[in-house]
Amino acid sequence: MKGSYNVVMAIIQTAYAVCPVCTVAVGAGVGFSRWLKIDDTISGVWIGGLIVSLILWTLSWLNKKKFNFTGQGLSITILYYVLTLLPLYKTNIMGHQLNKMWGIDKILLGVIFGSLGFFVGSILYQKIKEKRGKPHFLYQKIVMPVLPLIILTIIFYFLTKTH
């Protein structure tokens, strides 16, 4: 069990390099999707991406300030998810029985997929940069984490059009 924890923490350490532009891009996606009355799964994808971006950005900032404590990654992660999802639940934006897909609340489903997509995109960028020593193209640091969110948005758009 401890070995798998170390692997996860190593992955999180390499993903610290999320830029502020990514966070702004994801935040804009959340705002536009709600304003345009887009399905909640799609809004959830962008909310999930924003949460992960904020987590990685916060951890990076704490690391630069040399402020580290045991369980920092887990604590920050839980804090951001609770601070985001609890108000959505308490204000009845999440939790409606008729607002489900595959038996899961649509926003929560989108948050899960968006979080994973943004995280995987960030990790892939880091791996490519480590292997090559530099990005392949300008703004790759932004494109790599945001591209999975765009792809998931398209997928959920077509999936929710049939419902």
For the chain, how many residues are written? 163
For 78-111, the pLDDT digits (tens) are: 989 988 888 878 777 787 888 788 988 988 999 9
38-42, 112-116, 130-134: range with highest mean pLDDT: 112-116
Handedness of CA 82, 88, 91, 92 (dihedral sign): negative
Cα(163)–Cα(158) distance, integer angstroms: 9
- Quick check: 106 and 40 in contact, CB under 8 A? yes
Q: What is the 3-state secondary structure (H, E, C) of 76-131?
A: HHHHHHHHHHHHHHHCCCCCCCCCEECCEEHHHHHHHHHHHHHHHHHHHHHHHHHH
Spans of all domains in the chain: 21-161
Cα(122)–Cα(66) distance, integer angstroms: 22
Q: What are phi and psi of 91, to 5 degrees?
A: -95, 15
* pLDDT band, residue 33 (cuts 50/70/90): low
Question: Looking at the predicted structure, is the pLDDT value of residue 69 above 90?
Answer: no
pLDDT at 10: 47
Q: Find how far residue 31's CA is from the centre of its chain.
A: 15
Question: Quick one: DSSP state of residue 44?
Answer: H
Read off the pLDDT of each residue in 52-68 and give the average, rounded to a whole number: 87
Read off the pLDDT of each residue in 6-26 and give the average, rounded to a whole number: 51
Handedness of CA 69, 73, 74, 78 (dihedral sign): positive
Question: Looking at the predicted structure, is the pLDDT value of residue 162 above 80?
Answer: no
Of 7-11, 76-80, 121-125, the least confident: 7-11
